[in-house]
Amino acid sequence: MNVNQKIATTLLTYRLRQLLVAVLSVTFGISMYVAMNSFMAGVNNIQTEITFTSMPHIKIYNELSAEITPILSGPEDPGAILMVNNQRNIRYTEGIKNADAIKKELSQMTPVVGVAAQVNQNVFIRNGVSKASATLSGIETLNENQVFNSSEYMVEGDLYELDRRSNGIILGTGLAQNIGVGMGATVYVSNSEGMSKAFKVIGLIETGANAADRSRALVSIQTARQFFSKNRSYATDIMVSVRDYAKAASIAGDISGLTNYKVEAWQEGNSQLDAANLLRDILAISVSLTIMVVAGFGIYNIMNMTVNEKIREIAILKAMGFNGGDVIEIFLTQSVVIGFIGGLIGLVFGNIIIRIIDNIPFNIATLSTLPVDYRTSDYLLAFCFGMIITFLAGYLPARKASRIDPVEILRG
Amino acid sequence: MTALSVKQINKYFYKPVDFHVLKDISFEVEKGEFVAIMGKSGSGKSTLLYLLSTMDTDYEGSICMNGSTITGLKPDQLARYRNEHIGFVFQFHYLLPEFTVLDNVMLPALKLKKKSKEEIEHEAIRLLNLLDIKDQAPKVASKISGGQQQRVALARALINSPDIVMGDEPTGNLDSQNSQIVFDILRELARDEGQTIIAVTHDDEFAAKCDRIIELEDGELVS
Ligand SMILES: Nc1ncnc2c1ncn2[C@@H]1O[C@H](COP(=O)(O)OP(=O)(O)OP(=O)(O)O)[C@@H](O)[C@H]1O
Ligand SMILES: [Mg+2]
C-alpha cells in the first residue's frame, strides 16, 4: 500500500456513516440492475417457451403457390384474342410425399435438434349437441416431445398413451371446456369428407398459448393417416427445432436448398415476438442504467461534500509536497473502493432479490411463480457499469480537489 | 554559502481592495544561519513566509534557494521541492485531524520515499521524543492540546531533514520551558546539521538569541 492509498483508507474509514451511505447507493444501483435484467430475461424466456410449445422454429409444408401458371401460351396470331374463363390454380398433390426422406436428411444437420412429422387437418369435434371446429394433429409422440416438450404440458393423462390406443385423443384444455368433456369421455370427430369416428379422451394438454389450447386435438399419426385415408409416410407438415431459435431464419435458408417444399422460419410473420423481446430488453437496460446513473450522482454528491469538507487537509497535504496527481489518486481511490465494495454487495443483494422474485406466486398460464433467469452476464455487466460510473463520479470531485490552491486555504 | 536569496520582491493583494503588502524586499540568508523575522501584526511576515515556502507563486521578483531559482517552477516541481528541501510550521498548527500523531509526522517522509518505513518510523519517534511528546504518538491528532499540536507540526517539518526550516510563530502556543526546548532544538540543527532556520516571532527574548533579526514594517524591510 503506497502512501496515497494509506491516506485514502484513513480518510475513508474515519467517517464510517458517510462511507456506508455511499456504499449503499452503489449497492442499490447494482442490485436493481441485476434484478431488473434477470426478471426481464425470465419474462422473455417464458414468452418464447410458450410461443414454441405450439409453433416450431421451422416448419416445412406444401404451399399452394400464389402465381397462376397460364394454361395456354399466348396466341401465335397477334390479331387473335385469347380468353380463358374461370382460370384456377388447382393443387394436385397435397401434403408432403417423401416425408421420411426429408426427415432423415434434416436430422443429420448439426443445428437441428428435433424433427417431427405431423398430419394436420381441420375437423369438427362433437359431444352430443355441442360441437366445435378444431385442428386435428396426428403426431409422432416421441419426436413431438423432442420438438415441443409436449409431455411437460400434459395436465392429465400421458402423451405416449396415444401410441397404445388408436382411438385415443388428447384435447387442449380450452377445447375440452368448450364442448364440455373431461377425461374418459367419448367425442366424435368428423372430417371434411363427412367421415366420422369416435375417440376417447385420454388426456388434456395446456401449453399456455390460448389459441392453440382452444383448438388443438392430438391423435397418433397412424390414426390420423387412417382417418384421412392417406398412405404410410404421408405428412402435412414437418416441424423442426434448432439449437438456437434466433438463428432459425438462416437455418431455414439452408434447408430450403434440400427440398422444393416451403420452408418457413418462425420469424416469418411473427416479428412481433422478436420485437417484444427486444423492447423488453431495451426497457430493462434503460431503466436499470438510469438507476445506476442516479446512484452515480449520489457518489458524486458525497465525494464532492468530502472534498469540500477536507479542503484544509488537502491544502496541508499539498503544502507538505503532495502534488495534484497524488490528490487525484487519494480521492479516486476512495470512490473506487466505494464502488468495489458497493458493487460486490450489490451483486449479492441482486441475487437475493431475484431469488425472492423467483418464489413469488404467479398462477397465470403455465406459471406458478414469477419467471427469472440467472445469467452470469448480467452480474458482470452490472459490476462493470457500476465501476465505470463510480470512477466517473469520483473523478470530477477528485480533479476539483487537485486544483485547490493551498495558500488560499491556509492563509485563513 | 548562501542558502536563500530574495531579490526585489513585490506582492499585491487585489481583494477586497488593491493593497501593496510587500515592497521591494531583498535579503540573503547564509547556510546554517538562524534568522528571526519580526514586525507588527499585519506587517506582512506570514505573507513573506508563504512566498519563501514556494506555496504562493503570485509575486514579482525572484527567490533562489541553494543556488537554484525556484521562481517560475511548475506546481508539481514546487511540490517536490517543498517535500524534499523545506520544512514548514504554520502559524496555526494544521495537522491532519484524522491521522495519528505518528502518521502526521511520517507522511512527508513516506511521500519522499528516500527511506524505508521502519527507518522513517524510527526517526519520527526520535523527533517526538526530542520534543517531549513521544507518549502522544498513537493518539489521533485532533485529540491533543494546542501546544502539543505545534510541536507535532515541528516534528513533521523536520522529518525529511530539510535544508531550510520555516516557522510562523513556532513557539506561539508554548510555555517558556517548551519554548526554550524548541529554540534549543532549532539552534542545534542550525549549528550541527547546517540547516537554515527562518522563524517569525513576536517574542523578543526568542529573537535576541537568534543570529540575525529581519524586521518588517508595513511591508518594507527596515534592518
Ligand atoms: N488573503 C488576503 N487578502 C487580502 N489581504 C490580505 C490577505 N492576507 C493578508 N492580508 C493583509 O496583508 C497584510 C499582511 O498580512 P500577514 O498575514 O502577512 O501579517 P502578519 O505580519 O503575519 O501578521 P500577524 O503577526 O498578525 O500574523 C495584512 O494587512 C492583511 O490584512
Ligand atoms: Mg502572521
Q: What confidence score (pLDDT) does residue A69 get?
A: 64
Q: What angle do CA B72, B76, B79 make, to 5 degrees?
A: 90
pLDDT one-digit tens code per residue, A15-24: 888 889 889 9
The whole-number average pLDDT for the span B179-195 is 90
* Pair (A184, A289) in one structural domain: no
Q: Which atom of ligand 1 is nearest to the CA of B47?
A: 18
Determine whether the interchain pair A321/B46 forms a contact, defined as Cβ–Cβ distance below 8 Å.
Answer: no
Structural domain span for residue B83: 2-221
User: Which residue among A235, A269, A303 closes a domain?
Assistant: A269
Q: Minimum mean pLDDT among A51-55, A90-94, A264-268: which range?
A: A90-94
* Pair (A107, A127) in one structural domain: yes
Residue B20 in contact with ligand 1 by CB distance below 6 A: no
Q: What confidence score (pLDDT) does residue B63 get?
A: 96
Q: Which atom of ligand 1 is nearest to the CA of B49?
A: 18
Determine whether the interchain pair A320/B111 forms a contact, defined as Cβ–Cβ distance below 8 Å.
Answer: yes
Q: What confidence score (pLDDT) does residue A231 get?
A: 85
Structure confidence at residue A67 as a pLDDT band (50, 70, 90): low
Number of domains in chain A: 2
The whole-number average pLDDT for the span B78-95 is 90
> What's the half-sphere exposure (Cβ side, CA atoms, 13 Å) at A214?
4
Contact A136, A121 (CB under 8 A): yes
* Pair (A208, A306) in one structural domain: no
pLDDT one-digit tens code per residue, A22-47: 899 899 989 999 998 899 889 888 88
pLDDT one-digit tens code per residue, A80-129: 887 777 776 666 667 888 788 888 888 888 888 899 999 999 999 998 88
Identify whether A234 is part of a domain.
Answer: yes
pLDDT one-digit tens code per residue, B38-63: 999 999 999 999 999 999 999 999 99
Structure confidence at residue A311 as a pLDDT band (50, 70, 90): very high
Number of domains in chain B: 1
Q: How far apart are CA A265 and CA A52, in angstroms?
A: 12
Q: What confidence score (pLDDT) does residue A266 get?
A: 87
* Pair (A146, A264) in one structural domain: yes
Identify whether A25 is part of a domain.
Answer: yes
* Pair (A112, A216) in one structural domain: yes
Instruction: Using the mean position of ligand 2's atoms as its centre, give its distance from the Cα of residue B166 in Å.
Output: 13
Q: How do the residues of chain A divide into helix, strand and coil, expressed in percent and rounded to 5?
A: 55, 20, 30
* Pair (A308, A237) in one structural domain: no
The ligand whose atoms approach the alpha carbon of A405 most closely is 1
The whole-number average pLDDT for the span A342-359 is 95
Q: Which of B75, B83, B44 is nearest to B57 (CA)?
A: B75
* Pair (A211, A121) in one structural domain: yes
Q: Minimum mean pLDDT among A34-38, A157-161, A268-272: which range?
A: A268-272
Kind of pairing, strands A168-172 and A196-205?
Answer: parallel
pLDDT one-digit tens code per residue, B122-181: 999 999 999 999 999 999 999 999 889 999 999 999 999 999 999 999 888 888 888 898
* Pair (A32, A132) in one structural domain: no
Q: What confidence score (pLDDT) does residue A249 get?
A: 87
| Residues, Cβ < 5 Å to ion ligand 2 | B 46, 91
Nearest CA in chain B to A412: B92
* Pair (A278, A265) in one structural domain: no
Q: What confidence score (pLDDT) does residue A70 get?
A: 66
Structure confidence at residue A65 as a pLDDT band (50, 70, 90): low
Identify whether A82 is part of a domain.
Answer: no
Structural domain span for residue A306: 3-51+274-411
Q: Which CATH number do you get for residue B209?
A: 3.40.50.300
Count other C-beta atoms under 10 Å from residue A110's C-beta.
8
Q: What percentage of chain A exceeds 90 in pLDDT?
A: 44
